[in-house]
Structure 1
């Protein structure tokens, strides 16, 4: 059950600023839950060639996995905006790089040089020709190293041995990586808003940007062209250096959700957290999914539902992700395990055993990723390059105290 927190000022409802302080919140639990939902959703298509979980139930508007990705962007908007507003732009970029890239690089290396060779031995019976070719393991790593996915597969592996490969007609090892490029672009937007002082002095401009993108969503709904399926060149695509192909259509929808989360953070002193409004938003979200109008009605409802739930979850769930955050690892490794299990034919035992294996593998890989990579690199969040600085010589005196002005002061040292 969701817990109630009494307002601090009489009978007035509490605000987000009053309820969301420090790390005592449910965001870690929600993010991990969203990552698990993605694994459940991929299990139907990757393991059995069925439609994605929830697609028919939600009238073809979306599926549970994509809905989870939408949720990630709302929470990212909240968290990343808070980070961008409280740090320098250099420190902000450094933090974002540490959080995304090292774990991604290790994932790519493990996929290309550990998982893929084993799959090749299983499917080909040899590694002859594996290390070379236009779509080899090295190209897989170099093509995807900066979040933009230029190569989903390695040779033709998993192309004919998995339901997904047979339907898509190609090799795919980690299709879940597609969303990272949009996450990075949203990081860039947050950084730009911070460096131009918009987050501190012109926060209303963020509201305007969010409203403008929501206008695009409403216009799409009216004209009968809402966002469906994987990223498509509906509004055209652009090729960005390092990032590859980016769909404007997806960027606008995901950008709206990110900015909506950012608005919640910037106006946290005015965002009222009320249980009645929370349950109403949850009902509106469910109704839009089941009966239509998800993008127009469900998008705003999703934003408030997640923010409300993040501060109303029971205290027993708030410890999740506080010390060990496995959500990123579950997300980026889950797809790989499911593809490999399907290629080995382990899906023949049915959906439930297949999902159990997938979750066990995803959590195992996520735990290794967190403890061996993510947590270790995050220890360098406060690292600062040493700067060459002149050292004043301290005069040698036979007697008397040394003057303070003659003592070299290290860069960044406190003098008060």
Structure 2
């Protein structure tokens, strides 16, 4: 699935390019730009993978892996923003770095205010100011807060034995989440909370993936079902203007899983998952290029240059931060297995030997493989 996730991250970069270059809003589908649909795909795949992780791990182990996968790279991104991107912006605007550390929003305030994933400040020392989309160094990071809230929701419900035994609870939770979002105009005047509305928008996609995970023991991956899921997704989105995407969330998850099982993927991408780094560094790279006027050379040049620069940072994030942290977590788990079974050679679970974006999806990778190998009739 690394290729699919990288493609979704690239779609987010493409969608953001129009806003950041001051070239309008770009292509939309049913009132949502392509980046928004890519985020929906991320949440659907994440729901599938993360639910598999929760079902096969204790709460403590699950949370350790979730934090290790998402948080260190996020902190590193904040640090790179105040150490590289924002100083370049400040120097470009003022001709000097004097006052950079004391100008509102100060660099340290930027880090501290955003420390717990919820983005409260997007500018650093009044930068970037001389770009078409001023005042934001990283508008993509907002979704990580809601991603982690979904992790916590699955952490809670995954501890209930009935949820582990039967897909029915997750199916009911998914239906409830869709109904909640469909009736959001009724509840929002009472709550008037942006966090609630965004979570209500994204949670159905996550739970849609969770439903597919819960049903994966009985449903295999087959081309006819995969194509049917893609067609069903299009029908739902076309027929239901406001919440058709949420209604189609299980179909989106299944369709992406099927595509990932048949899509050719270079070995480098299968082994090295740079999609997360690509997602979190695309916006600041695009802002930096806009700062120096690259967007004025045409959208094609701007998009390709942004993608190339972002890929370099994504590789650095994977090599220097993400992979070392996940390897440390794996060594920790392998050491605990060795202590629990003295005298035996510790057997690292197969899923831990992969460089999956979710860190340690336990039976998820194996489950997907089995689903893909299931007889055609189970599809």
Report the TM range for the smaller structure's normalisation: 0.7 to 0.9
Q: Which of 129, 142, 150 in structure 1 is aligned with 2:99? A: 129
Match of 2:22 in 1: 48
Q: Give me the whole-angstrom Cα distance separating, in 2, the residues matched to 1:200 and 1:284.
A: 28
How far 1:322 sits from its partner (Å)? 2.8
Deviates most, 37-46 or 114-123? 114-123
| Corresponding residue SS for 1:95 | helix
Contact 1:99 1:378 in 2 (8 A): yes
Q: Which of 139, 147, 159 in structure 2 is aligned with 1:183? A: 147
TM-score (norm. length: structure 2): 0.82
Contact 2:59 2:155 in 1 (8 A): yes
How far 1:125 sits from its partner (Å)? 0.5
1:1-400 correspondence runs (5 A): 27-51=1-25, 53-55=26-28, 58-59=29-30, 61-159=31-129, 161-165=130-134, 171-201=135-165, 203-220=167-184, 225=185, 236=191, 247-271=195-219, 273-287=221-235, 289=237, 291=238, 293-312=240-259, 313-314=261-262, 316-317=264-265, 319=267, 321-382=269-330, 383=332
How far 1:385 sits from its partner (Å)? 12
Q: Give me the whole-angstrom Cα distance separating, in 2, the residues matched to 1:319 and 1:310.
A: 18
Bigger share in helix: 2
Deviates most, 126-135 or 148-157? 126-135
Contact 1:273 1:308 in 2 (8 A): no
Unaligned ranges ≥5, structure 1: 1-26, 166-170, 227-232, 239-245, 388-409
CA RMSD of aligned residues (A): 2.5
The 3 A distance-change label for structure 1 pair 385 and 324 is: closer
How far 1:134 sits from its partner (Å)? 4.0
How far 1:110 sits from its partner (Å)? 0.6
Unaligned ranges ≥5, structure 2: 345-379
TM-score (norm. length: structure 1): 0.75
How far 1:308 sits from its partner (Å)? 3.3
Q: Which of 342, 367, 372 in structure 2 is aligned with 1:414? A: 342
The 3 A distance-change label for structure 1 pair 205 and 309 is: closer
Contact 1:34 1:68 in 2 (8 A): yes
Contact 2:137 2:283 in 1 (8 A): yes
Q: Give me the whole-angstrom Cα distance separating, in 2, the residues matched to 1:385 and 1:315.
A: 32
Contact 1:162 1:343 in 2 (8 A): yes
Q: Give me the whole-angstrom Cα distance separating, in 2, the residues matched to 1:386 and 1:34.
A: 35
The count of residues paired between Structure 1 and Structure 2 equals: 340
